[in-house]
Structure 1
């Protein structure tokens, strides 16, 4: 028999709070990014490229904590939109993904959309930094305990 005081409650679950917060933030981004021709997962790829520069597709997948097969359709669509290019490296097995001039120009417009979402959070710069750090630390602790799946897709 289950003790009524120990029952699992949805509102007490960390995973549900994270899920609901993530959905709210992604929903806030969706129309702003849509106006710029990006989906949220494509936005993440572009962020990585703006920050880190050209990268092998497998490194992009690792950076975004995605499986290798999940990055290909994202890059396909970004390439079709003229925002990135792909080229084979000296090692023909490695595909390098780089921004085009149009991809570089998009960064300023995306920054405005990102700032609009930040404003919607109601958090200060310090509050955002603290929250990001705490979430990163949480993810690191869970991953260190073997709680991270091997192949994620967005």
Structure 2
């Protein structure tokens, strides 16, 4: 199953790169977020993110987005919030900035049912060192921009 998923993700990434070349990127990163960051009451101390998105000059987008918010529950145990989304629109206002939006499913990682259909917007900003920030809006919650400290990002 894992091999099929990797092949599917590779195929989707390839299709996104071929079909929507103006702003295409595929990355996996690990970042930290600022102090006092919370999501639905859960303290968040970092996130892991992977995405393969192609953005057309028309504003449409194609690709997958996955982020894991690394939280600590009230018992002091790790609680991962898994966010899986599909991008449907996007833009590249500058060479080092890409924004994409769509809907996602949020799994709080606490045994409650996942919540589908949550709108999201992600803003990726890179610097000369292929690092940068990830800004994320989930529904009506805006998380502070997270700074890359492992991995890299590229916007083409």
- Give the strand-richer structure, 1 or 2: 2
When the two structures are superposed, what TM-score results if normalisation uses the length of structure 1?
0.23
- Give the helix-richer structure, 1 or 2: 1
Considering only CA atoms, is the larger Rg found in Structure 1 or Structure 2? 1
When the two structures are superposed, what TM-score results if normalisation uses the length of structure 2?
0.23
